[in-house]
Structure 1
């Protein structure tokens, strides 16, 4: 696994005291405050970096809002951020995707979640002292960004790209993009350890669905949350040609895009 994308609990534990490493807890505030958190972590709840009021932007919060959010918790553009949740990383992965889109160079997903961390390492209810920064976002250009829109998706369908639907069976059966394969995002997680499966296991699981590094891959779900996790995992495995359909099926259906129904 590429440690510039996904890091282990051991990696993080060895760097808790490093000033340039900032830890972001995206759980609900009551979990952060009442259950405990990784020492030094700041609270950035999932709802604070998700905005469903602007259809053209998907659910991204906007560069200005995101910059203000990070400024408020004392994060600077040069910091290395490690994000986690307690849901196998799916909400934290959305934070990773958002930070990358707004130009943060070093943002990583904790392999596992709060429960996985808590099995080995100490937690705390102490909140760190925060000194606000003057964070400025630097959004990726259209050429740099993995996010694609409706027209690009239509073109990818014409090219025969592999569309990967990360939703549940019943959702897929109701409607999916033409030719899509269904890949439940949770298949990459080991239920016992709550961490990602070993790299060779991941490659085998993905390969069973034809999700291989030589393919052009387009990810989608309903509102681009679940594909965030799959995107981060593929990126950590070295997949280069992975597009992220931010509008996902919500936008596709709103524009009367062609669909198929039935089981995978």
Structure 2
């Protein structure tokens, strides 16, 4: 499973994992980064011209990670400075291109949380040579338009809109519940809320581990964070609608307001 790791966990393993910083390049160079981190800015792996949804395409992804010295068998920890939402997108992209989920980790908190207590650097990281080989995952959480449409009438499935309440009110999939991804993070610590709080929030929304969960937002960025959180909490039946509302509306899927 993709999991969420603490700064203590990472500090003990900095020499054994590949740390990926997905902030803008100027932040990586100018503000500083975690020791040993490599820079793979979010806009480098976000493309509407690649595979389904906003995935960058297999060749583009392989070239990008190879150039950053990341191999397909590396243990990877990703971080950003936005509560993990962009880093989570990186990790889910890696998962969808066959990276072992047990080797994918989201740093709890983000750069700012790390920077409060630990060393950062502006020194360039030496990038080792690597050839990133994409494989087809044995299982994929991806679901398409038809699968989501069929799930609307399934009482064992909960459709989850991870956008903010105002967006949800403007229009959402029929029967979808609203669970803003930011509800799961603590603004002060910049990391996930305590487990008991997370369970309470998820239970209140009807998002429970005994149900199938289908996630969507607008362009699959925000659902990446919720996907990682649910994976970390042990949910084992979580579907990822990569096309999200962008594709849904383009294909005239039903949308309700209010």
Q: TM-score range with shorter-chain normalisation?
A: over 0.9
Match of 1:10 in 2: 8
CA distance in 1, matches of 2:152, 2:202: 20
The structure 1 segments of at least 4 consecutive aligned residues displaced by more than 4 Å after TM superposition are: none
1:199 and 1:231 map into 2 onto residues whose CA distance is 16
Q: Deviations over 1:194-251 (max 9, x none)?
A: 1111111111111111111011110000000000000000000000111011000110
SS in 2 for 1:57: coil
- 1:219–1:227: 8 Å Cα contact kept in structure 2? yes
Conserved 8 A contact 1:167-1:184: yes
Q: Which runs of 5+ in 2 are unaligned?
A: none
Contiguous gaps of at least 5 residues in structure 1:
none
SS in 2 for 1:127: coil
Q: Do the aligned partners of 1:173 and 1:261 also contact (CA within 8 Å) in 2?
A: yes
Question: Partner of 2:65 in structure 1?
Answer: 70
- Post-superposition offset of 1:53: 2.3
Q: Distance between the aligned counterparts of 1:247 and 1:182, measured in 2?
A: 18
Structure-2 separation of matches of 1:258 and 1:245 = 15
Aligned residue for 1:208? Answer: 204
Aligned residue for 1:147, secondary structure, equals coil
Q: Distance in 2 between matches of 1:163 and 1:79?
A: 33
CA distance in 1, matches of 2:222, 2:33: 23
CA contact (8 A) 1:83 1:108 kept: yes
Contact 1:5 1:107 in 2 (8 A): yes
Q: For 2:132, which of 132, 135, 138 is the aligned residue?
A: 135
RMSD: 1.2
